[in-house]
Structure 1
Amino acid sequence: MRITVPASAISESDAVDVLIAAGFDVSVRSDQRRGVGLLVSRDGETAAVQVKVRQKTIYEWDALHLLENAQERVLVVVPVASRGLIDAAKRDRRLGVVSLRDRLLVWDREEIQSPDVIVAAHASVAVPGRRRNPWGRWAIMRAYLLDGEPRSQVELAKETGVTQSAVSKSHSALDGLIVRSASGWRATDRLALWEML
């Protein structure tokens, strides 16, 4: 069964899904200069990665241009990887590629075909419209991890830089881990919240 992934649905979380399905350990890191990135580990090696999402296929020249200014590895996420992009990633280990439609990952000069778990992960993407990435939810989870004090949704929205509506939706998605008390919202199990990141 072949799932078509609309270009408008591509996000950083798609890269995380593919990496995890391919057996990598992935964690989110925050950098004030570069924004949010990933720490990717496999076989005892950990690499800092800048994720570059492209809504259309890019080619070898574009990827090499991305690498020129990169301080770390670059992971390009595209709907379908061109042969030139795949070949460039096989020549330069600093470049990784996630081709969503093919369920293909090129990492450390190696082509890795993701297992069928990816098909199930992308089945929900078939709905029309743009799927939002979970960075806001991760920011909210991080805020609860850093400070266990109860607070209102408005306070949490200001602290994390997301809307109050996004905070409310995240609370619904994190049902059971976040509860409301008389003094505000708080995490019930910070360890379980940490393990979700």
Structure 2
Amino acid sequence: MNPLSVGVIMLSLLQDDTTAEEIKGIAYKASKSILIALVIIFFIGQYIFKFLGVSPDGLRVFGGLILLIMGINMVQGHGKKVNHSTKEQEAAGQREDISIVPLAIPVAVGPGLITTVLNMSVVAADWQHYLSGSVAIIICCVSSYFILGRMPYIKMRLGVNGLRVFNRIMGLVVGSLAAQMILAGVSKFL
């Protein structure tokens, strides 16, 4: 989850005269939507894959590849590849509420995050894993709310170059997580 990149996209979709209170409202609604989506994916995602006959190791390898591509793009400074079309972005600019679509889904909860949460779901074996995964999701969503709500201030303080440096550092983390997922999937398969 990279709320700074989501925040930059959020600011690009908003009008220049958007107040701080309106931004906090959008951040709250988007974070709540992200929380609901991630909890649903975490608790029932693995059952959907079992129903479809997809093995957890196949999910790890493919999900790792998706994350690896995202990590490489982030490290190279290509920025976030948005999961919505130009027409959807134009429609979002005309709508009053951008918090759920496209901000929460598909920008924040895109293929990379869905894959990561599904991988957490697959390795969860008992109630402690589900509890720790749920707590992690809640902490990430609360952090996302605070970051999105203060995005104008963060952008002003960090500047464009600061956001780019942070995005590249996050790319290293995402790439490392991807490599670990791929290795785990391949080693279990072999």
The interval holding the TM-score normalised by the smaller chain is under 0.3
Whose helix proportion is higher, 1 or 2?
2
Query: Which protein is bigger by CA-based radius of gyration?
Result: 1
